[in-house]
Amino acid sequence: MKNKILVIEDDTAISDLICMNLTVAGYEVLAVFDGDKAEDAVLEKGPFDMALLDVMLPGKDGFELMETMKAHDIPVIYLTAKADVGSKIKGLRAGAEDYIVKPFEILELLVRVEKVLERTGKQKDVLEIGDVQIQLSKHQVTKKGKTVGLKPLEYDLLVLLAKNKNVAFSRDQLLNQVWGSDFLGETRTIDVHIGQLRKKLGLSGVIKTIPKIGYRLED
């Protein structure tokens, strides 16, 4: 079961960009291009686990739509071109969970989406990669139904890659996200852990090495 996200952005190029990346990462998306359609979608095509909302919409103000979203218990991340503190405060005060300032990088978008889903408890509990299942609440990984034992860091690494399917991470990024930025060791550790994951879960064809970049879990 995938998380369902409503994307409300009037610029077609940006809307396509977001939808494409979210879909590839493993989410289900619906795109609308103005405020009125957004309201219709919430009523007719729900339930949504989250909404990405452009503040500068034609017609209905992005801030006005907040009320609708809140009423349906849909957490909102604002998309805004305005980086000034005033706008950010206004957005957060209006009830947004987070905001992203354009232009943004894809990874940033994905991570923020993930965090909001986590915070609001909407994140799907189970991640699937082929015949591997990860139950987040229980910290349990199974392959073909049988539990597989993973070291804590291996688990974290797997979860990170699984939550961001098809997105390439550099070794540094993986190091930062999983080990924390204080780690002084070598990036070689990553390679070792990746190797372990591949072996233990038979994911050699799934966790791909991307030359000059890093690793990517593909589906």
Partner 1 sequence: MLAVLAILAATGIFGGTVLYQTANYNISQTISNYQGQVTSTAYVLEQEIRNNAPQGFGDETNKSFLQYTLRKHGGTDYMLFRNGKLAGNLTNYDVAGQGTMPEWTMKQAKYVIQRTDGHHILIMGKQFASSGEGIYDLVLVRDISQIYDDIQDQVWMLLLVYAGVTALAINMIFWVTKRLLRPLNELQWTATLISEGDFRRRVQVRTNDEVGKVAEVFNQMADRVERQVEELEEVSERRKQLLGSLTHELKTPMTSIIGYSDTLLHVKISKEQQKRALEYINAECKRLERLSGKMMSLVGMYDNEMIHFEEYPVQELLNRVEALERYHVAEHKMQLVMTCAVGTVPMDVDLMESLLVNLIDNAIKASGEGDTIDVLAVNNRITVRDWGKGIPPEEIPKITEAFYMVDKSRSRKVGGIGLGLALCKKIAELHYGHLEIESRLDAGTSISMVFDRMKNMDGSQEEMG
Among 158, 168, 174, 178, binds partner 1 (CB under 8 A): 168
- Asked if 174 interacts with partner 1 (CB under 8 A), we say no
- Asked if 11 interacts with partner 1 (CB under 8 A), we say yes
Among 3, 21, 27, 203, binds partner 1 (CB under 8 A): 21
Q: At what angle do helices 35-44 and 62-71 cross, to 10 degrees?
A: 10
From residue 81, how far is each of 12, 85, 127, 193, 204 by CA, in Å?
16, 12, 33, 39, 41
Among 1, 71, 85, 105, binds partner 1 (CB under 8 A): 105
Q: Give which of 33, 34, 28 is closest to 50, Cα–Cα.
A: 28
Cα torsion through 50, 54, 57, 63, rounded to 10: 70
Chain centroid to CA 115 = 7
Specify the stretch interacting with partner 1 by CB under 8 A; choose among 9-17, 128-136, 150-158, 192-200. Answer: 9-17
Minimum separation from the CB atom of position 202 to partner 1 (A)? 20
- Asked if 111 interacts with partner 1 (CB under 8 A), we say no
From residue 3, how far is each of 12, 53, 55, 65, 164 by CA, in Å?
22, 17, 23, 21, 13
Minimum separation from the CB atom of position 102 to partner 1 (A)? 4
Of 29-58, which residues contact partner 1 (CB under 8 A)? 33, 56, 58
- Asked if 213 interacts with partner 1 (CB under 8 A), we say yes
Q: Are 81 and 101 in contact (CB under 8 A)?
A: yes
Among 30, 106, 126, 153, binds partner 1 (CB under 8 A): 106
Per-residue H/E/C for 45-90: CCCCCEEEEECCCCCCCHHHHHHHHHHCCCCEEEEECCCCHHHHHH
By C-beta, is 43 or 83 nearer to partner 1? 83
The pairing of strands 4-8 and 50-54 is parallel
Minimum separation from the CB atom of position 162 to partner 1 (A)? 14
Among 1, 71, 103, 188, binds partner 1 (CB under 8 A): 103
Total of residues contacting partner 1 (CB under 8 A): 27
Minimum separation from the CB atom of position 209 to partner 1 (A)? 13
By the criterion CB under 8 A, which residues form the site for partner 1?
10-14, 16-18, 20-21, 24, 33, 56, 58, 81, 102-107, 166-168, 213, 216, 218
